[in-house]
Amino acid sequence: MEKNEIKHLQKAKNILEARGISKHYGGIKALDDVDLVLRDGEVLAVVGDNGAGKSTLVKAITGAISRTSGTILFDGEEVRIDSPTDAKAVGIETVYQDLALVNEISITKNIFLGREIVKDNILGRVFGVLDFKKMDTETRDLFKKLDIRIADIYRDAQAFSGGQRQAVALSKTVLFGKRIAILDEPTAALGVRESKMAMDLVASLKDHGLSVIMITHNMQHVMNYCDRVMVLRLGRLVAVRDVKDVDGDTLVGLITGANKSKVA
Ligand SMILES: Nc1ncnc2c1ncn2[C@@H]1O[C@H](COP(=O)(O)OP(=O)(O)O)[C@@H](O)[C@H]1O
Ligand SMILES: [Mg+2]
C-alpha cells in the first residue's frame, strides 16, 4: 500500500461513534436522535444555544446520565458505557462544566481524586496508605510537561485563579485520558488571557495523542482550534461541518435557526 493511502485510511478512522442518542425527561426531549462521530486525532466542536442539549449529549455519551436510547462504538466496536467508570475504562476523560475541581482539597488531591496511588509496600497494599510523595512528583512532572505554572500544589484548589483551575482540570485528561478528552465549556468562566492559556492547552492535548470533543460558545475558538463542528438546536443535530468550510456568521445562523441546513 502507498504511504498516502495508509495516511488516508488513518485519517478516516473514527475513534468514537454515538448513534441515535436520545434523552427524554418526561415529555421534554432534551436530546433527540443525535449522531456524533469523532475522528481519531481531531478536535470536534459542539456548539448550540443555551438549552440546545450540549451538556446532555456529553453526559449521555459518558454515562453520567442514563440514555433514553442510543448506542456507542469505540474504535468501531460497540461498547457499553453506562457509568463514568465505564467511560474512563475505555480511555475517555471528561471535564464537566461545573464540577471540574473540588475547592477544599489540594491540587495534588484533585488530580488523583478517586485514583489515589497507594504506597508500594505493605502499608500501601494492606492498609491502603497513600503515597503522597509519588502523587506530588507526578503532578509536578505533568505540569512541567504541559507548561502549567503552579508551584504550590499543596494549597487548596480554591486559592487559584479560574484559569489555573481550568488548567489543572485539563491536565487530568492528559494523565488519565488514554484516548479521548471531552471538555464542556472549558473557557466559560475565564477572562481573555486565561481563555487563551486554556485553549493552548486544549490544542496541546492533540500532541499528547488525544482526540477531543469540546463544547463551546466561542466562535473564535471554533475557527482557530477545531477541525470540525457540530451544531445542536433544540435537542437535535442540525449541521456538521469542516471548520475550513464555514465562517462564524454561518455558524451563528445555524445555532439560532436563521440558517436552515440539512445535516451534511
Ligand atoms: N435533569 C433535567 N431534568 C429536566 N430537564 C433537563 C434536565 N437536564 C437538562 N434538561 C433540559 O434539557 C435541555 C438541554 O439542556 P443542556 O444539555 O444542559 O443544554 P446546553 O448544555 O446545550 O445548554 C434543556 O432544555 C434543559 O432544560
Ligand atoms: Mg451546558
Nearest C-alpha neighbor of 238 from the set 213, 214, 264: 264
**Element (H or E) spanning 23, and its range?**
strand 14-25
Region 32-46: mean pLDDT is 97
**What are the angstrom distances between the C-alpha of 215 and each of 86, 108, 180?**
21, 26, 14
| Domain presence at residue 215 | yes
CATH number at residue 187: 3.40.50.300
- Whether residues 46 and 119 fall in one domain: no
Which ligand neighbours the alpha carbon of 236 most closely?
Answer: 1
Answer whether 51 contacts ligand 1 (Cβ < 6 A): yes
pLDDT at 98: 67
**If pLDDT is split at 50, 70 and 90, which confidence band does 3 have?**
low
- Whether residues 205 and 237 fall in one domain: yes
pLDDT digit string, tens, across residues 232-253: 999 999 999 999 999 999 999 9
- Indicate whether 206 pLDDT > 80: yes
56 CA closest ligand 1 atom index: 17
Which ligand neighbours the alpha carbon of 52 most closely?
Answer: 1
- Indicate whether 10 pLDDT > 90: no
Which ligand neighbours the alpha carbon of 68 most closely?
Answer: 1
| Domain presence at residue 69 | yes
- Whether residues 64 and 179 fall in one domain: yes
| Domain presence at residue 261 | no
pLDDT digit string, tens, across residues 79-136: 999 999 999 999 999 998 766 789 999 999 999 998 999 999 999 899 989 999 999 9
- Whether residues 131 and 244 fall in one domain: no
- Whether residues 163 and 132 fall in one domain: no
**DSSP secondary-structure letter at 154?**
T
Mean pLDDT of the chain: 91
Count of structural domains, the chain? 2
* Site of grid cell 462521530: 37
Per the CB < 8 A criterion, the answer to whether 46 and 213 are in contact is yes
- Whether residues 12 and 76 fall in one domain: yes
pLDDT at 245: 95
- Whether residues 64 and 123 fall in one domain: no
Distance 104 CA to ligand 2 centre (A): 24
pLDDT digit string, tens, across residues 49-88: 999 999 999 999 999 999 999 999 999 999 999 999 999 9
- Whether residues 198 and 134 fall in one domain: no
Per the CB < 8 A criterion, the answer to whether 150 and 168 are in contact is yes
What is the domain extent for residue 48?
Answer: 3-104+156-256
Give residue 187's identity as a one-letter amino acid code.
T
| Domain presence at residue 263 | no
Q: Which residues surround ligand 2, an ion (CB under 5 A)?
A: 54-55
pTM: 0.90
* Nearest CA residue ID for atom 24, ligand 1: 51
- Whether residues 187 and 231 fall in one domain: yes
Answer whether 52 contacts ligand 1 (Cβ < 6 A): yes
**What are the angstrom distances between the C-alpha of 162 and each of 191, 192, 194?**
9, 12, 8
Per the CB < 8 A criterion, the answer to whether 18 and 72 are in contact is yes
| Domain presence at residue 177 | yes
Rounded to whole angstroms, the Cα distance separating 158 from 106 reads 9
pLDDT at 178: 85
